[in-house]
């Protein structure tokens, strides 16, 4: 039996096609379904202000979308959180007469965001190879570039490409079974299956779910569990799909050789297809992305303002889009022109240039030397292994990996020609100590404050 949650997830797909991305993110996504009561779907609005806006502007669209899934529905009832308990005590009416033709999301919740397509993915030098490889995979899954491994920093478009591949396959080859999952979800499902395997066939169902796919996408593989069972299961799942010519796509924030812990047999399989990286886009590409977003939102924003935003947020596309969304929301809520400079400056106040100093490797080294006054730059980047030098050097290496997107090999070269595995070990060691040793955590916090000039 389909649940109210699954019903609402399918209704959301209908709504997304009828409103702008800004309207959807600002007013629709936070609505929560409670039940069907008196032939109406009951939705919680988080505040009176939001309830008023949704009722006045979007109730007709929501109702129309609901009827695409539930033809017999008579309307929509919006309630506040304090009214939730009353409706939870009401016997929920059965969900029947569902229009199954419009049901896209089933129990596996295999939804690809309709907002993420190849058509609205802005291509520049920073991502052109990853985009080209993704398109080739979408057009011929399991035939070209298998596996496809995409890596890059946070907010640079990896998840957009995964969704674009999924949307293209669903549109052109609807009979193929595609699944997008995160590494964490894969691990959690495996743990649950292992716990229940004594009493039923949960492991059998788990393997059937993942090994009967035509296309498997796993995001954030860098969080792979170090437990033997997780990596063992992923290895066999990978092999089953690969040798059946099924497409495998993996995303990470780092290349396969820098993922720790990762068994060598998995590492070599990840590297066995195409490995494509995405780096921070140049200014022209960032401006083009913002122009595309403004066009989507039907906002006429001056190019100089878009250039200002692009300069303020140079390394994270997701954050940059968030700034644009914030400006548009400010304009709508205050009834001002979106190009009003007072409004722009208010939205960008946390990105003031006097606060945003450039951080480079020399500045990090200089701050570490000031924090440890008996250590010099020559000590940090040299070959000495004295106890009083090792700790500051390890701290410095960790902070470089935290602040900068330099390849580990390049960091190793800077620190006296050390190899990337040494840098990787150092990074992970300090990261672990920061979680377990209050002294190390405090030192990291203090040096970061020095680097940022706080």
pLDDT digits (tens, 9 = 90+) for 318-354: 888 888 988 888 888 788 888 888 888 887 877 755 4
Does 55 map to a domain? yes
Q: Is residue 69 part of a domain?
A: yes
The reply to whether 140 and 255 lie within a common domain is yes
- Pair 216, 274 in one domain: yes
Both tokens of 312, joined, read 């303020």
| pLDDT higher than 50, residue 109 | no
Structure tokens at 282: 């140049």
CB burial of 225-253 (b: ≥16 within 10 Å; e: otherwise) equals beeeebbebbeebbebbbeeebbbbbbbb
Assess contact for 183 and 159: CB atoms under 8 A. no
Q: Are both 98 and 140 inside the same structural domain?
A: no
- Residues 74, 153: one domain? no
Q: Which helix (H) or strand (E) holds 362?
A: helix 361-371
CATH number at residue 57: 3.30.300.180
Q: Which long-range contacts (CB under 8 A, 24 or more apart) does 78-82 make?
A: 78/31, 78/43, 78/44, 78/45, 78/51, 78/54, 79/34, 79/42, 79/43, 79/44, 79/45, 79/51, 80/44, 80/45, 80/47, 80/48, 80/51, 81/44, 81/46
One domain for residues 423 and 399: yes
Residue 178: which H helix or E strand, with range? strand 178-182
Q: Answer yes or no: do 259 and 182 share one domain.
A: yes
- The per-residue pLDDT for 368 is 94
Buried b (16+ CB within 10 A) or exposed e, 88-116: eeeeeeebeebeeeeebbeeeebbbbeeb
* 299/236 same-domain check: no
Q: Is residue 120 part of a domain?
A: no
Same domain membership, residue 221 and residue 252: yes
Q: Note whether residue 319 is domain-resident.
A: yes
CATH number of the structural domain spanning residue 180: 3.40.50.300
Query: How confident is the model over 156-202, as pLDDT tens digits?
Result: 889 899 999 998 998 888 888 898 888 888 888 888 887 765 545 77
Are 79 and 184 in the same domain? Answer: no
Mean pLDDT of 301-314: 88
In the chain, how long is the greatest CA-to-CA distance? 77
Return the pLDDT at 239: 93
Note if the pTM is more than 0.95: no
Is 112 within a domain?
no
Question: Which residues have C-beta within 8 Å of that of residue 302, sequence separation ≥ 6?
Answer: 339
For residues 163 and 383, what is the distance between their CA atoms, to the nearest angstrom?
46
Residue 5 has pLDDT above 70, yes or no: yes
Same domain assignment for residues 205 and 342 = no
Distance CA 290, CA 343 (A): 18
Q: Report H helices in 89-182.
A: 128-139, 158-172
Residue-range definition of the domain harbouring residue 409: 361-452
Regarding whether 257 and 225 lie in a shared domain, the answer is yes
If we measure between CA atoms, which residue out of 397, 374, 396 comes closest to residue 386? 374
- The count of domains in the chain is 4
Same domain, 41 and 69: yes
What tens digit of pLDDT does each residue of 232-279 get? 899 999 999 999 999 999 999 889 888 877 889 999 999 999 999 998
Distance of CA 107 to the CA centre of its chain: 22
Angle, helices 183-196 vs 228-242, to 10°: value is: 110
Read off φ and ψ for residue 41, nearest 5 degrees. -85, 130
């Amino acid at each position: 039996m389909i649940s109210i949650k699954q019903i609402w997830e399918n209704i959301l797909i209908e709504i997304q096609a009828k409103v702008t991305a800004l309207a959807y993110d600002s007013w629709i996504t936070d609505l929560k379904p409670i039940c069907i009561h008196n032939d109406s779907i009951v939705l919680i609005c988080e505040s009176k202000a939001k309830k008023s806006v949704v009722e006045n502007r979007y109730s007709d669209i929501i109702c129309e979308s609901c009827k695409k899934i539930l033809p017999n529905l008579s309307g929509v009832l919006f309630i506040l959180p304090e009214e939730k308990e009353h409706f939870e005590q009401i016997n929920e009416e059965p969900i029947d007469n569902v229009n199954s033709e419009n049901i896209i999301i089933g129990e596996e919740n295999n939804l690809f965001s309709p907002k993420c397509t190849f058509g609205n993915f802005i291509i520049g030098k920073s991502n052109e190879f990853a985009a080209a490889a993704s398109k080739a995979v979408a057009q011929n899954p399991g035939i070209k570039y298998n596996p496809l491994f995409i890596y890059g920093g946070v907010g640079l478009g990896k998840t957009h490409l995964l969704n674009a591949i999924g949307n293209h396959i669903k549109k052109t080859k609807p009979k193929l079974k595609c699944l997008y999952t995160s590494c964490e979800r894969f691990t959690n499902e495996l743990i649950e299956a292992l716990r229940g395997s004594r009493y039923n066939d949960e492991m059998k169902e788990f393997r059937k779910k993942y090994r009967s796919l035509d296309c498997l996408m796993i995001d954030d593989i860098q969080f792979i569990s170090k437990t033997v069972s997780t990596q063992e299961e992923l290895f066999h799942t990978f092999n089953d799909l690969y040798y059946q010519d099924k497409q495998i796509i993996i995303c990470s924030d780092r290349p396969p050789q820098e993922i720790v812990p990762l068994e060598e047999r998995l590492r070599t399989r990840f590297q066995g297809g195409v490995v494509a990286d995405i780096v921070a886009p140049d200014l022209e590409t960032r401006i083009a992305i913002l122009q595309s977003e403004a066009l989507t939102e039907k906002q006429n924003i001056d190019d100089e303002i878009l250039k200002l935003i692009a300069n303020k947020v140079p390394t994270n596309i997701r954050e940059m889009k968030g700034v644009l969304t914030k400006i548009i929301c400010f304009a709508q809520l205050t009834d001002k022109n979106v190009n009003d400079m007072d409004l722009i400056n208010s939205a960008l106040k946390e990105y003031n240039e006097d606060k945003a100093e450039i951080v480079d490797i020399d500045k990090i080294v200089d701050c570490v030397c000031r924090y440890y006054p008996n250590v010099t730059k020559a000590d940090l980047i040299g070959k000495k292994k004295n106890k009083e030098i090792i700790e500051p050097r390890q701290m410095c290496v960790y902070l470089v990996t935290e602040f900068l997107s330099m390849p580990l090999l390049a960091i190793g070269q800077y620190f006296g020609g050390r190899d990337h595995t040494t840098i990787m070990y150092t990074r992970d060691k300090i990261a672990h100590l920061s979680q377990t040793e209050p002294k190390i955590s405090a030192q990291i916090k203090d040096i970061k404050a020095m680097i940022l000039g706080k």
